[in-house]
């Protein structure tokens, strides 16, 4: 049982790590699933399903799919982030943490789910791992 639990946990950790690692890292020859351009050298998101997208492509898509009420919010986050990034060289600590907060807000809009695979990839995987574990527990009980 302990072993199964550890496996489930480390798989989830791995997924989380993939999520964080994917953002902004220059890795391989992955291509953007929207425009088929190479991800290398651009700001991009890589989802646990291995779909990768340019940040700009995700934003373009978000503009099309976001509920009308949320669009102005996204646009103002984008705008503030752009302004901050433009003067990135002389950012003080406060501006830097402001930039991070904005970036996180942006992540919430475009980095939460893979637009091709639908919603809550990680949650779905997590659930199936737990139910396997439940099944194993039952099997264990039955063996007595
Ligand atoms: Zn693209
Ligand atoms: Zn995907």
pLDDT range class, residue 133, cuts 50, 70, 90: low
Most confident of 13-27, 56-70, 77-91: 56-70
On the question of pLDDT at 93 being above 80, the answer is yes
98 CA → ligand 2 middle, Å: 30
Token readout for 72 is 């102005």
24 CA → ligand 1 middle, Å: 14
Burial, 53: exposed, middle or buried (Cβ in 10 Å; 0-12, 13-18, 19+)? buried
144 CA → ligand 2 middle, Å: 43
Burial 70-83, CB ≥16 within 10 A → b, else e: eeeebeebbebbee
Q: Look at residue 119 in the predicted model and tell me its pLDDT.
A: 52
DSSP notation for 2-69: HHHHHHHHHHHHHHHHHHHHHTT---SS-BBTTT--B-TTS-EEE-TTS-EEEHHHHHHHHHHHS-GG
Query: Rounded mean pLDDT of 110-133?
Result: 60
Query: Rounded mean pLDDT of 54-72?
Result: 90
> Mind listing the pLDDT tens digit for each residue in 38-48?
988 888 888 88
26 CA → ligand 1 middle, Å: 15
């Amino acid at each position: 049982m302990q072993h199964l639990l550890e496996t489930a946990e480390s798989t989830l950790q791995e997924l989380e790590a993939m999520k964080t690692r994917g953002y902004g890292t220059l890795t391989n020859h992955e291509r953007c699933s929207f425009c088929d351009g190479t991800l290398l050298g651009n700001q991009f998101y890589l989802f646990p399903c291995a779909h990768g997208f340019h940040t700009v492509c995700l934003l373009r898509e978000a503009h099309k799919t976001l509920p009308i009420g949320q669009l102005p919010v996204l646009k103002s986050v984008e705008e503030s982030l752009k302004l901050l990034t433009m003067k990135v060289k002389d950012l003080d600590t406060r501006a830097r943490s402001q930039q991070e907060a904005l970036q996180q807000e942006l992540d919430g809009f475009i980095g939460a789910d893979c637009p091709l695979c639908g919603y809550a990839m990680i949650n779905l995987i997590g659930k199936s791992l737990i139910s396997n574990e439940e099944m194993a527990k039952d099997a264990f009980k039955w063996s007595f």
